[in-house]
Structure 1
Amino acid sequence: MKPIPNRFMTWNTNGQGLGTPESIMEQVRRFRPQVVAFQESCQDEVIEAVNRLRQEGLEYRYRRGFSAVHLGCEAGLGTGIIFAEGTSVRAHNRKGYSEDEGWLEARGIQSFTTRIDGQWVRVFNTHLSAPGHERLRQLQARELADVTRPHPRALVLGDLNTRPWIAKVMEPIWSAGFKDVDQFCGPVADRRCNKTLPKTDDAKFDYILHRRVNSGGCRLHTPTEDHRIVISDVTLADVPRPVCTVT
């Protein structure tokens, strides 16, 4: 059993409330992604999951993103990535947003360059400010769009805490040439856009956005009542975006 090449996954695990090493292991084992972007995850839980997966023969490595002190997480709560052994991860970088909510939530952009179908692609993992902080999200979305511009081929994975048609926040992202893997999620509201918070009406917060990269497969999985996992099999081939499967 090996990770599946070019399969990318993003998941807000709600580590302080619902996340466990066992739940992370279960979903990584189930979908075998090449790269996983985590948000709101306990770093110690992700590290423990990676260690156990390696013991089972699934070889992953971990890179820390941004984290904040949290009583529910011994090693901090925040973002991070895991990637299959042998994956090219170059120029790994972390850049904080100019403003966030403060010490309780450390917001920023984790990025690295990897190969997809023989071409270099820049990958970004982020978690924008929480509901109730729209001004901060607007600022952060502009900064996110700006930092992607030097990279013709790019992926953005993460929890943006906003619906795709909220122009005040998302307009810089769409203007930068990104599309979501869910073909119905874009700047115009569409009832077919799959929500990623199953208990909240039309709450599409979790994204895999691509520019000059395509999605050959899209799946949303519901491991808890909080955030759904978003999974995409990315490709540089000229293929139509598929309809997402929801489980």
Structure 2
Amino acid sequence: MLAGALALACLVLVGPSAPGGGAPFARALPAYAAAEVVPNRVMTWNLCNPCEESNVDRAAEIATYAPQVVGLQEACEGDVRRIRDHLERLYGLVYHVEYGAVLEHWGRCGGAPWNPGDFGQALLSAAPMTDPVTVEYPDGGSEDRGYLAVTTRIGGQAVRVFNTHLAQRRQETVRAGQADVLAGAVAEHERALVLGDFNAVPDAPELAPLWKVAADADPGCRPGRAGACEVTTDWHSKFDYVFLRGMVPRGHRVRPTPYSDHHLLHTDLGAA
């Protein structure tokens, strides 16, 4: 009984997503890694949860490309806090952070069973962020879903940044409603950046509202030309997007990673 009580206490204090999160040593970055935050570079990444990955490794993946803005999905607030701390302490990259939790989930994020960790989206930005808003979709499908929105400056201009995660696969009708809510919010802004895991390929009808108000940062990726879109997941589908409104891309890259079943996407932005 005593051993069981001690094990439960450790799980409560550490949580299931903490392995490697407190590792004291920086992982060596590849030779092509950025030396500092790259202005006008934005990234989206679904962390994969629960996947029991090290937050030091996650921080190293972000530090390799050092975007100005990073949107994370399937993110536990505690993990994001540790990633942000590792980025500063191990790699000298300083980020502001905003959280967009849509539910509390002990199985994914640890904490006490009676006080589980927050789960949802998060945004890291080298520039300050203002006016943060977290919106939960009226229908999340099989799991609560929503978006986080903030305002920051990219290329010297104010940009409204959205980060979202739409309903799981085989829930097309639910995603259609979510995309409609998100597109309505995006359309209110002259310049907007929309990051996220949309759980739908470019030709999916439910994404039509987004295509009406924004364009994919990959100039060759459009509805009807899905074959030209780089895949962004281990199961060879494009589910992850950097949508732009009032901005233009200068370069777009998809980077596979061993630390998630979703690849990293980063885009360098130019003046409209």
Question: Structure 2 length normalisation: TM-score?
Answer: 0.80
Alignment of 1:51-130 (within 5 A): 51-56=85-90, 57-68=92-103, 69-74=105-110, 75-84=117-126, 87-101=127-141, 105-130=143-168
Alignment of 1:178-193 (within 5 A): 178-193=214-229
Greater displacement, 129-138 / 219-228: 219-228
Equivalent residue for 1:26, pick from 56, 60, 68: 60
Structure (1 or 2) with the larger CA radius of gyration? 2
After superposition, give the CA deviation of every residue in 1:216-235 in whole Å (9 maximum; x if it has no partner).
Answer: 11111101361111101112
| Conservation of the 8 A alpha-carbon contact between 2:183 and 2:209 | yes
Whole-angstrom distance in 1 between the partners of 2:94 and 2:108? 27
1:194 aligns with 2:230: yes
Whole-angstrom distance in 2 between the partners of 1:64 and 1:136? 23
* 2:179 alignment partner in structure 1: 141
| Conservation of the 8 A alpha-carbon contact between 2:96 and 2:129 | no
1:153 aligns with 2:213: no
Equivalent residue for 1:226, pick from 258, 261, 267: 261
The amino acid that maps onto 1:19 is E
After superposition, give the CA deviation of every residue in 1:65-108 in whole Å (9 maximum; x if it has no partner).
Answer: 12431413222332111112xx0312111111111125xx3311
After superposition, give the CA deviation of every residue in 1:144-189 in whole Å (9 maximum; x if it has no partner).
Answer: 100111101111000000011112x11111112x111112221113
Report SS of the residue matched to 1:187. Answer: coil
Aligned length: 229
The amino acid that maps onto 2:188 is P
The amino acid that maps onto 2:168 is A
| Conservation of the 8 A alpha-carbon contact between 1:181 and 1:232 | yes
* 1:174 alignment partner in structure 2: 211
Distance 1:234 1:18, change over 3 A: farther
Whole-angstrom distance in 2 between the partners of 1:16 and 1:29? 22
The amino acid that maps onto 2:211 is W
> Which runs of 4 or more aligned residues in structure 1 lie more than 2 Å from their structure 2 counterparts after TM superposition?
none
Report SS of the residue matched to 1:34. Answer: strand
Whole-angstrom distance in 2 between the partners of 1:58 and 1:166? 37
| Conservation of the 8 A alpha-carbon contact between 1:160 and 1:205 | yes
Gaps of 5+ in 1: 238-247
| Conservation of the 8 A alpha-carbon contact between 1:24 and 1:46 | no
Deviation at 1:135, TM superposition (A): 1.0
More helix per residue: 1 or 2? 2
Report SS of the residue matched to 1:123. Answer: strand
Whole-angstrom distance in 2 between the partners of 1:73 and 1:188? 39
Deviation at 1:18, TM superposition (A): 4.9
Gaps of 5+ in 2: 1-34, 111-116
| Conservation of the 8 A alpha-carbon contact between 2:56 and 2:86 | no
| Conservation of the 8 A alpha-carbon contact between 1:116 and 1:236 | no
Deviation at 1:15, TM superposition (A): 2.9
Greater displacement, 112-121 / 157-166: 112-121
**What is the percentage of aligned positions where both structures have the same residue?**
33
Report SS of the residue matched to 1:6. Answer: strand
Greater displacement, 58-67 / 4-13: 58-67
